[in-house]
Structure 1
């Protein structure tokens, strides 16, 4: 298959996968309510999607490195298919726990495997461009998934699980036909950097983190994920306190999502203007300024402008950090370094609502945006000092 068509295929499958996951997740608590779950049980069911994968990420990356991405993609999407069938066939709370746990583990494998495969198939000097497009398609799936899931569930929530399961089965068949004969030994691997640890028989997680520039690339991703969860959790509460309607809140969050998606389609062109770490520095810097400026004025038009600029900044930073992690990875270890990055994201995702929940309780909502802005601002300078590490590693 033509390399560009293969890259497009990976992007399209990532789009379908994200649409399936994001379309199902809002339906899980609704199904749990139908099964008479308490609010505490609903929280546990939601947590089962991400709790176990947090501890399995590095192992998943190791398996992907050993058995190659195609196997993990096919097995992962097939597991998603079966996991979504479970609540449809056995509508009981214990089965919902099992379904979400399997779904979360499979999702982890798929995300790492898609990114790892893309890193293998794409030459190093073109990774920023194609990872930007990959993130664009992923964002599209994340935006459309809940809408499609909501439409399907109008008749029955169970139908949503069944239909998305069937779509996932079709994606599995497509991947089996297209990816099964693909060799992962591509020229893209030839450019993987050597490091001072190259003599080691096997890299451990901390060995990979200690590679010059790696910790800062992973930190950049964590800064973005941490801030994104602040935006999703506390920005709606802030807007509500200012009298914004639910429609306006949804529109502002959608504007942020659309800006994130749009900027990724021109990521390759933006990087012709400056080095990756310089662009990453600027994107984190302006995101921090936007967060700090959110409470400055009470105007829907003003908040729309801030959300657009903020979405562009955070939307650009995430794929840039992903490419940095892959480029810094020793040959044969990109799956594991991507897994460490995802683990960092999950930690940031968990820490964000907890820490800022305490802060909002003590000092209110407005200071949250100043603090988050300051963290992003400081993080931008921390990441900037990694410039040049990728080439020297």
Structure 2
């Protein structure tokens, strides 16, 4: 029997709304500004006339420090430091956005600030995911995870919308204005993060014997397959954000439509996450995993084809709905499989895998795009999503 994660005793059977409201507010703002900065960085790379391979290098920089540090952060969070992780992450993101606004002058500047942004984002994400477990307690966990992912979708929807709105019909949006707006949003996000309350004083620090080895997590049935599906899903979302602007320049699609396409995906993901709790209760974890991963794969395979703009909007809506469920399941399934006292470690192990994927695959994608174009990346992602989705559904334990 898989043990359910335990929150503090005060919220064991329900939702802690005093924690939930500032937490979800911070999720929305953090997701919005991270996406605005990353899309704007792609456009700034084009604006500077850099080779397309730099898009992959900069994306790799975003992921490299988290890949090396996430597990230690997870152990730290398991000792009751989830709120502090959000505080640290918000401060690092503020410093990074200050750098993007003041010194976006070269590829090396963009790379350095992307590394710092990724480090801050890792702290925020690790803290957010553990707070979602703590705020819901054992009975409301899936419901609160759904709320968390809805908030993430709202932020991810606002991000591309802001870029498209400021960019208008221009091929390149005003990057300096976007970086300035991101700096203001980061300052506000830090203020909201400080309102997230730490976990109440727990029992004395856990004995070393209770620390769950990484090898034990990886040996659990279904855990490696869920990890792989998580890596492929998150990397696919990441590469879509990075390379859709490049696909737009290849197909003469202006920045306004690129922003709206990404917004359509985020809105569809938001809608799917609103219904996530009902879907997982009604359909079941295994069937929902398979359907959402295969739906995501179909979306990427279709985007690789030379579609009309109207067809691209339709495909992005389907893709967004499917990936909204799939990405939520990658978090939910990790928490479902992990021992209660190692949720933070398990979630950051997932994050480490995601970041390794974000290091390896963007670099390979940059080389692939330079050689064969963006469509080949989308095709490869579609195949990877299908294969990993089938593996995750087959290997997950029943119940």
Give the structure-2-normalised TM-score.
0.76
State the shift of 1:244 in Å: 4.5
The answer as to whether partners of 1:73 and 1:109 remain within 8 angstroms in 2 is yes
The answer as to whether partners of 2:293 and 2:386 remain within 8 angstroms in 1 is yes
User: 1:64 aligned to 2:77?
Assistant: yes
Larger mean Cα displacement after TM superposition, 240-249 or 277-286: 240-249
Pairing 1:54-203 to 2, within 5 Å after superposition? 54-82=67-95, 84=97, 101-145=115-159, 159-160=180-181, 162-175=183-196, 179-180=197-198, 182-183=199-200, 201-203=210-212
The answer as to whether partners of 1:29 and 1:46 remain within 8 angstroms in 2 is no
The answer as to whether partners of 1:227 and 1:352 remain within 8 angstroms in 2 is no
Count of matched residue positions in the alignment of Structure 1 and Structure 2: 374
Larger mean Cα displacement after TM superposition, 226-235 or 253-262: 226-235
In 1: Cα distance, 2:304 partner to 2:105 partner: 45
Residues 128 and 161 from structure 1, CA distance in 2 versus in 1: closer, same or farther, beyond 3 angstroms?
closer
The answer as to whether partners of 2:217 and 2:223 remain within 8 angstroms in 1 is yes
Residues 172 and 225 from structure 1, CA distance in 2 versus in 1: closer, same or farther, beyond 3 angstroms?
closer
Larger radius of gyration: 1
Residues 205 and 53 from structure 1, CA distance in 2 versus in 1: closer, same or farther, beyond 3 angstroms?
same
The answer as to whether partners of 1:225 and 1:345 remain within 8 angstroms in 2 is yes
In 2: Cα distance, 1:92 partner to 1:295 partner: 33
The answer as to whether partners of 1:128 and 1:319 remain within 8 angstroms in 2 is no
In 1: Cα distance, 2:130 partner to 2:386 partner: 30
User: 1:326 aligned to 2:353?
Assistant: no
| Aligned counterpart, 1:12 | 25
The answer as to whether partners of 1:20 and 1:168 remain within 8 angstroms in 2 is no
Per the alignment, in what secondary structure is the counterpart of residue 211 of structure 2?
A: coil
In 2: Cα distance, 1:208 partner to 1:363 partner: 39
In 1: Cα distance, 2:309 partner to 2:185 partner: 36
Residues 295 and 85 from structure 1, CA distance in 2 versus in 1: closer, same or farther, beyond 3 angstroms?
closer
Pairing 1:170-319 to 2, within 5 Å after superposition? 170-175=191-196, 179-180=197-198, 182-183=199-200, 201-234=210-243, 241=250, 244-294=253-303, 298-319=307-328
Residues 103 and 362 from structure 1, CA distance in 2 versus in 1: closer, same or farther, beyond 3 angstroms?
closer
Per the alignment, in what secondary structure is the counterpart of residue 293 of structure 1?
A: helix
| Aligned counterpart, 1:192 | none
In 1: Cα distance, 2:150 partner to 2:230 partner: 16
State the shift of 1:147 in Å: 5.3
| Aligned counterpart, 1:388 | 397
State the shift of 1:274 in Å: 1.2
Which structure is higher in RCO with an 8 Å CA cutoff and minimum separation 6? 2
Per the alignment, in what secondary structure is the counterpart of residue 212 of structure 1?
A: coil
State the shift of 1:316 in Å: 0.8
Residues 32 and 257 from structure 1, CA distance in 2 versus in 1: closer, same or farther, beyond 3 angstroms?
closer
In 1: Cα distance, 2:383 partner to 2:43 partner: 37
| Aligned counterpart, 2:8 | none
In 1: Cα distance, 2:302 partner to 2:338 partner: 37
Per the alignment, in what secondary structure is the counterpart of residue 298 of structure 1?
A: coil
Q: Over the residues paired in the alignment, what is the CA RMSD in angstroms?
A: 4.1
| Aligned counterpart, 1:195 | none
Q: 1:338 aligns with which of 347, 350, 358?
A: 347
